[in-house]
Chain A
């Protein structure tokens, strides 16, 4: 065997966290006599609009996407993350994750350390939280600032102070004051509704699927968008990295969670990516669209760190990162993610890249620039190799075209992908997420639960 062959990395932390009880009788015994609490969405601190649902974090933790995190974090752990981006067991991790409730709910529940709390979702028992500590968020605004950084504290990459226009900042600013910290366990597996069910590959399943397909090297494409041809070329060309041969597989992992108005619906995003392989633009044997549940924090380099953790846990060897990775607005340097993965960001606790610090990651970054159409080459061209003037593919230009009901040419968007957009447009009466979609999505969520 060549010494240059890359092997699949172990999960972050050394083992996959799996905290899902599938035996219903055992689950019933586990919750007998325990107090229960109906999971509530986190509401925007000013507008009252849903901005997060902690059920998505519980799912991602218990199925191992966020390994080695096992539950809602204790105060000392949150403080360490904010200072060094490390868990108490030393492994790197970017964000505080907590189960927060109001003072009123806390008083009413009357629970404390040592108690087991049953968490209901959509009126059915869903998970348990074994409470180890109760602590309080005294100043959510300060927590929000510490989570993302400031231009003064993080001058390498933060360009503007975060504020209420940033959806991730709003999530932390909107947290309730009482944190119940402890491990989660899912005791009633939710069932994904179509079309999400066929894209659900939690880490154990994705690793098994890679084995089944004979994929040793896999590169991940992070998405929250319907793919245009620029994305397709990014995927195809980034996959030429690998070891002695191009990556065997391209994993598309769509972040499914609370939506912002103007986004494409999640249904169109996942089926749009599937249409790329159904149309043969990337062979289905080399391409696997999947989902992860997470209410995006849009933390650019910090978000990329979480993405690296999720995809390493899923079994990927490589991860592509582009300009403005998981970003909104101009809070961060547009290359902040690539700075993190090439030289580190000392002020976030990374004097070296996250792959080069103790208890760091093993997934390999593939930092990419952009693809756009070159009328001289008459093809999609890479910004760093094509020497001609190119026609930029802008998302807003495409969205304007779609909104007008004009089919984009196939050189910009594959007809199969456009058909998916129109399919869900007909379903929702709108091509993008509008207020009705956002509100309904947070009511219905992506899953249903059976009686326990």
Chain B
């Protein structure tokens, strides 16, 4: 059974949501510490489910699952915060909303909600 993961990028807004969840110690860094990210674990079964549900999804050479809809990635972050976890139950919870995500993904080619920045 292979080990897979999904990357959750963290900007300042997301960092504020992560604070106090106990996940801070799992944060990884790129670009001299400027880019923060979390890696959510994905088991074989969930990986297959993701690839089956989203035809754009792929697994890269590191074992990272990429190219899923933005709606999926946003829900992934929401579930990390809600579950306060990086375990497979996070992706399970995301996949429980697969119909909702697919509906949002259909509209993604027309509209993506812009971030609120000053």
* Cα distance, A258 to B14, chains bound together (Å): 36
In the complex, number of A-B residue pairs with CB atoms less than 8 Å apart = 64
- How many interface residues does chain B have, given as a range? 20 to 34
Specify which chain A residues have a CB less than 8 angstroms from the CB of B32 in the assembled complex.
373, 375, 378, 411
Q: Are A430's CB and B35's CB within 8 A?
A: no
Q: Are B115's CB and A409's CB within 8 A?
A: no
Which residue numbers of A lie inside 8 Å of B, CB to CB?
373, 375, 378, 391, 400-401, 403-412, 418-419, 422, 425-426, 429-431, 434-436
The majority secondary structure among interface residues of chain A is: loop
In-complex Cβ contact of A407 among B12, B109, B111 (8 A): B12
B99 within 8 A of partner (CB): no
Q: Interface 1/0s, chain B 41-62, versus A by CB < 8 A?
A: 0000000000000000000000
* Cα distance, A380 to B13, chains bound together (Å): 26
Kindly provide the distance from the CB of A370 to the nearest chain B CB, expressed in whole angstroms.
15
Q: Are A411's CB and B34's CB within 8 A?
A: yes
Residue of B nearest to A377 (CB): B32
Q: Are B112's CB and A425's CB within 8 A?
A: yes
- A429-B112, A435-B109 given as contacts; is B73 within 8 A of A404 (CB)? yes
B117 within 8 A of partner (CB): yes
B110 within 8 A of partner (CB): yes
Q: Are A431's CB and B31's CB within 8 A?
A: no
Q: Are B114's CB and A425's CB within 8 A?
A: yes
Q: Are B34's CB and A407's CB within 8 A?
A: no
Residue of B nearest to A418 (CB): B117
Which residue numbers of B lie inside 8 Å of A, CB to CB?
9-14, 30-32, 34-35, 66, 70, 73-74, 109-115, 117
Q: Are A429's CB and B35's CB within 8 A?
A: no
Known: A407-B115, A412-B35, A429-B112. 17 other contacts (CB 8 A): A373-B31, A373-B32, A401-B9, A403-B112, A404-B9, A404-B73, A406-B11, A407-B11, A407-B117, A409-B31, A409-B35, A411-B32, A411-B35, A412-B34, A422-B115, A430-B111, A434-B109
* Cα distance, A430 to B11, chains bound together (Å): 20
* Cα distance, A418 to B11, chains bound together (Å): 13
Residue of B nearest to A403 (CB): B70
In-complex Cβ contact of A405 among B34, B109, B114 (8 A): B114
* Cα distance, A391 to B31, chains bound together (Å): 7
Q: Are B112's CB and A412's CB within 8 A?
A: no
In-complex Cβ contact of B110 among A406, A408, A410, A429 (8 A): A429
* Cα distance, A400 to B66, chains bound together (Å): 9
Specify which chain B residues have a CB less than 8 angstroms from the CB of A412 in the assembled complex.
31, 34-35
* Cα distance, A425 to B109, chains bound together (Å): 13
Q: Are B110's CB and A404's CB within 8 A?
A: no
Q: Are A411's CB and B31's CB within 8 A?
A: yes
Specify which chain B residues have a CB less than 8 angstroms from the CB of A410 in the assembled complex.
34
Specify which chain A residues have a CB less than 8 angstroms from the CB of B110 in the assembled complex.
429-430, 434, 436
In-complex Cβ contact of B117 among A400, A403, A422, A434 (8 A): A422
Specify which chain A residues have a CB less than 8 angstroms from the CB of B14 in the assembled complex.
406
Kindly provide the distance from the CB of A381 to the nearest chain B CB, expressed in whole angstroms.
11
Most buried by B among A401, A403, A405, A408: A405
